Structure 1
Amino acid sequence: MRTALVIGTGLIGTSAALALAGRGVHVHLVDHDPAQAETAAALGAGTDRAPEGPVDLAIVAVPPAHVAATLAEAIRGGAARGYLDVASVKGGPRRELEALGVDLTTYLGTHPMAGRERSGPLAATADLFEGRPWVLTPTRDTDTEVLNLALELIALCRAVPVVMDADAHDRAVALVSHTPQLVSSMVAARLQDADETAVRLCGQGIRDVTRIAASDPRMWIDILSANPGPVADVLAAVAADLDGTVRALRALDSGDDGRREDGAAGIADVLRRGNAGRTRVPGKHGSAPTVYETVTVLIGDQPGELARIFADAGRAGVNIEDVRIEHAAGQQAGHIQLMIEPTAVPSLIDTLQERGWSLRQ
C-alpha cells in the first residue's frame, strides 16, 4: 500500500491516517467539514488535497447511518482499488449497499475495537489500535486483493485481525460495547441530581463504572440507531437481572427470616454469575485472565511522583501489570494501586518501604 484515502477525519479516521502516514503511506483526507480535514492534516495525518487518481485503499470512517451512501459514491467514482469502512456496526451497512446495487467485490466491512471517551481529530493518536482486535467481515464475494489490503492496514496500525460474520459481530458488540455504554450512562445519570454530600464520596468504583459515560451522545445515537435490536436483547436480559435483584433486596429489607434468606440467595446468585463472567474477560495480551495482587501506596500530587514509584518498582525487579489511581477528596494526595504477580509482592513492599513510601493494607 502506497496511497490511501481516509473519508471522515474523526477519532478513528484520523488515528488510522496518523498510523499510515507515520509508516510511509501517502494519505489523502476528506471530511464533510473541511476544517476537520485541515486539522487532521496539520497533525501530520496526511494532506487535505484530493488525490489525482485512484488510491490503493479508501477507508470510510463516517457514522454508521452514512456508511452505505458514502461507500456507494466512492465505489461508483472509482476512488480506489479497495474499500473498507470502520463503523461499529456491520450487518446494516452491507445490506444497504446490496439494496443500492453496488458491486461489493472490492468492499470489506471492518471494525477496529478501539476508541476513547473523546472524539474528533484532536483526540486521535497513531497508537490507538496497537494490540487491539480489528474485526474483518469478508464474504465469499470479497476480492482477495481487498482482503490483503485490509490485512496490511491492520498490520501497519499494529492491531490484531479477527474474522467474523457481520451479524455475529453486531450481536457481539451489542454485548461488549454498546450495552456497557448505556449502563454506564444510566448509572452516571443517577449522579445528576444527587446530593452534593453523596457525590463527594465518589471513589474508584463509581469512577470505573461511569468512565465511558463521558462519551459523545451524538456519536452513540448514531451507533445505537444502527444496532438497536441486538442491544435491546442484551438490555432485556440485564433488566430481568435488575428486576430479580430489586426483589431480592426488598426481601432482605423485610422482617421475615425466610424472605431474607431467599433475598440473600438471590443477591449471591447474581454476584457469583458476575464473578464467572468477569473471569472470561481476556487478560494481558489477550491471554487468559490472571489474578494479580494489589499493593496500595499513598502518593502525593506533585510532578515526578509517578515516575519515582515506577522507578522504585523497577529497582525491586517487579513488573507492574496494571495501575489504578484514586484521588483523595480534599487533599493533594491519592492512592495508587499497583497490580503485580503475587510472588513479587514481598520484594515490592520491602523496596517501597525502604524508599520511604507509605503503604496501605
Structure 2
Amino acid sequence: MRYAILGTGLIGTSIGLALRQRLPKATVVGYDRVAAHARLALRRKALTSVASSMENTVADAQVTVIAVPRRQVVPLLARVLRAAPVGALVLDVAGLKSAIVAAGHRGQRTTRTAVFVGGHPMAGTERSGPGFARGDLFVGRTFALCVPIQSRRSAAARHAEVFVRMLGALPVQLSARDHDRVVAATSALPQVVASAVAAAVVDLAGKHTMLAGPGLDGVIRLAASPPALWAEDLIANKRNVLRALGVLQRTLHGFRQAIAAGERMRLHRLLRAGASAQRRLSRRRQVFVSRTE
C-alpha cells in the first residue's frame, strides 16, 4: 500500500508516524516545499522516501493526504486530483472546510478519477513543525469527515473512515457548513479566550505573575499557538466566530452584572451552569468514544 503526504508539518508528519507504526511495510512518500521539513520527517521515520515533486509523490498512491496550510489547499487540489490514480482517496486536513470541500467536488466533476473527502483531525498542539509530531497524536481524538448526506454510505466515505481509524482516531461525518459552525465554538473560541486571558493577566498582575497557579496555565496554553495561522482562520470563518463570541459576551456580561450588584444567588446559578455544561461535554464525549471504539 502506498500513501502520499503533501506537507510535512505537525499534522502531516504525525500522520506519517502513525501509519508507519501501524503498517511498518507500507510505503509512505512525502513532499514539502520546505525541503528541511521533509528531510526531518524522513529522519524521524515518518516517511520511507521524499519525492522531488507533488506529481511524483501522488503517482500510484492509494491514499493522498494534503496537509499544507489551509490557504494552499484549494490551489493544489485540482493538480492532486489530476495526478492521483483512478479510485484513489484524496483527503485534506485543514481546519475550515466549506471552500475546500466545494473546490474538491468541482475538481472531482472535472477529473472523474480520484475521490475527495474533506477532513479535519481535532488534534494538535500549540506547537508546529515536524519536530513536534507524534505517532499517537490522533489516538482517541475525533476526526471530522465532510461528506454530503447522499454520499455518507459511499465507498469513498467508507475508505476515509477506515483510514482515519487506522490513525487511531474516531471518524465523525457531518457537512462542511456544520463543521465550520461547530469549530467556531470548539476551536476558535478557546483560542481567542486563551489569548485574551494571557494578555489581561500580564497587564493586571504586573511583576507578580509568579502567583499564577496551574489553573491559569491550562486556560492560556493555546495562546502559544501560531498567530499568523489563527488570524487567517478567524477571519476566514468570521460569521461563525462572531456568533460564538456574541454568546460568550452575553455570558460574561451576566457575570459582570452579578458581581457588580453583589448578587450571590445569580453568581451561583452562572457558576453551576458552567459546571453542568462541563459535565455534559465530558459525558457526551465519553458516550461517543464508547459507541465508536
TM over 0.5, shorter chain? yes
TM-score where L is the length of structure 1: 0.70
Q: Give the Cα–Cα distance (whole angstroms) in 2 for the partners of residues 96 and 53 of structure 1.
A: 21
Contact 2:4 2:58 in 1 (8 A): no
% identical equivalent positions: 32
Q: Give the Cα–Cα distance (whole angstroms) in 1 for the partners of residues 58 and 129 of structure 2.
A: 27
The Cα of 1:269 is off from its aligned counterpart by 2.9
Q: Give the Cα–Cα distance (whole angstroms) in 2 for the partners of residues 175 and 52 of structure 1.
A: 35
The Cα of 1:108 is off from its aligned counterpart by 0.5
Determine which structure has greater relative contact order: mean sequence separation of CA pairs < 8 Å that are 6+ residues apart, divided by chain length. Answer: 2
Letter in 2 for 1:222: E
**CA 1:217–1:52: 2 relative to 1, 3 Å:** closer
Contact 1:14 1:121 in 2 (8 A): yes
Instruction: Pick from 71, 77, 101 the counterpart of residue 65 of structure 1.
Output: 71
Q: Within 5 Å, give how 1:1-361 maps onto structure 2.
A: 2-22=1-21, 23=23, 24-46=25-47, 47-49=49-51, 50-51=56-57, 53-78=59-84, 81-98=88-105, 102=110, 106-139=115-148, 140=150, 144-252=154-262, 263-282=263-282, 286-287=286-287
TM-score where L is the length of structure 2: 0.86
Structure 2: gaps of 5 or more residues? none
Contact 1:58 1:79 in 2 (8 A): no
Single out whichever of 140-149 and 215-224 deviates more from structure 2: 140-149
Q: Give the Cα–Cα distance (whole angstroms) in 1 for the partners of residues 27 and 175 of structure 2.
A: 31
The Cα of 1:174 is off from its aligned counterpart by 1.2
Deviations, residues 314-340 of structure 1 (Å, cap 9, x unaligned):
xxxxxxxxxxxxxxxxxxxxxxxxxxx
Contact 2:184 2:241 in 1 (8 A): yes
RMSD: 2.5
**CA 1:225–1:54: 2 relative to 1, 3 Å:** farther
Higher helix share: 2
SS at match of 1:180: helix
Letter in 2 for 1:130: V
May I ask how many residue pairs the two structures share in their alignment? Answer: 278
Deviations, residues 292-351 of structure 1 (Å, cap 9, x unaligned):
xxxxxxxxxxxxxxxxxxxxxxxxxxxxxxxxxxxxxxxxxxxxxxxxxxxxxxxxxxxx
Q: Give the Cα–Cα distance (whole angstroms) in 2 for the partners of residues 285 and 270 of structure 1.
A: 23
